Amino acid sequence: MAVSFNRYLILPEIEKSDFKISQDNKHKYTDQNIIRNSSDEQKASRIPATVPLCVLGDVQLRFLCPDDLEEVRALCQDWFPIDYPYSWYEDITSSSRFYALAAVYGGVIIGLIVAEIKPYAKLNTEDRGILSSSLGNDCLVGYILSLGVRRAYRRNGIASLLLEQLLAHVTAPERSSVKAVFLHVLSSNAPAILFYQRCHFRLHSFLPYYYLIHGKCKGGFTYVLYVNGGHAPWGIWDWLRHIASAMASLGPCRVPRWIWQRLLWATTILSYHR
């Protein structure tokens, strides 16, 4: 049964354990490529060039299942310049390890988000600096692998809706150990960068030669959104601001007036430059 979500609907999560793909099923997907391609063409023919916002009242959210594999693969090949292996599509449509949510309209997937919650200690070297060491190595982080929307449905809030659902998932009380959500984005992908900035993600680092696209190396950015009390490693400005704020809070009765006034001034300056 569908549950209302404003003017959208969200369907119950499908137990992905029911969709484990055997070797026979793997060949089945391959053998049915021609059938699925013709089905995809029929679906594509129903998609108009642009869709006004008022039409999206029947958008539904549901988790991916193995039957979505070929449709998701076609979408990702259209949206992203990176060639994912076939096994990756099998994983995101069948494994409970991934948070893979689709926005569906008229029986067609019009947007999807794929993320994974993983231990901070197991991140790659280039990503290990996103959290303060004071949080320990036992905390978790969410990593957004993919977020995309069909061209005809963009600028209608679909990407924001999918991202909001992920953030609601990682900030639930039972997932308080998740301290950040991060992602990588091509440094040349200005629309995506602006979108994540509007969603309060912070630029963390530049990764030169991070992507290999069509035989050429491309740079990328790491963007981070801190949740559940997570924060970045403190720099010297953070420590100075913290010390100045702590001392200024003592008030003039505990600190000589001239020192107290200068602490207030320093606190204001450091807060401004943070």
By annotation, the residues acting in catalysis are 143, 184
Residue corresponding to tokens 């809706």? 161
Indicate the SS3 state at residue 152. Answer: helix
Helix (H) or strand (E) holding 27: helix 23-31
Map residue 238 onto helix, strand or coil: helix
Q: Dump strand ranges (E) for 176-229.
A: 178-186, 202-213, 216-226
Distance of alpha carbon 79 from its chain centroid, rounded? 16
Residues 123, 131: Cα–Cα separation, whole Å:
11
Query: Residue holding tokens 């994912």?
Result: 84
Can you say how many angstroms the Cα of residue 145 is from the centroid of all Cα atoms in its chain? 7
- Rounded to whole angstroms, the Cα distance separating 252 from 245 reads 13
Count Cβ atoms within 10 A of the Cβ of residue 154 and give its class: 0-12 exposed, 13-18 middle, 19 or more buried.
Answer: middle
DSSP state of 67: G
Handedness of CA 52, 57, 111, 49 (dihedral sign): negative
Q: Are 21 and 66 in contact, with CB atoms under 8 Å apart?
A: yes
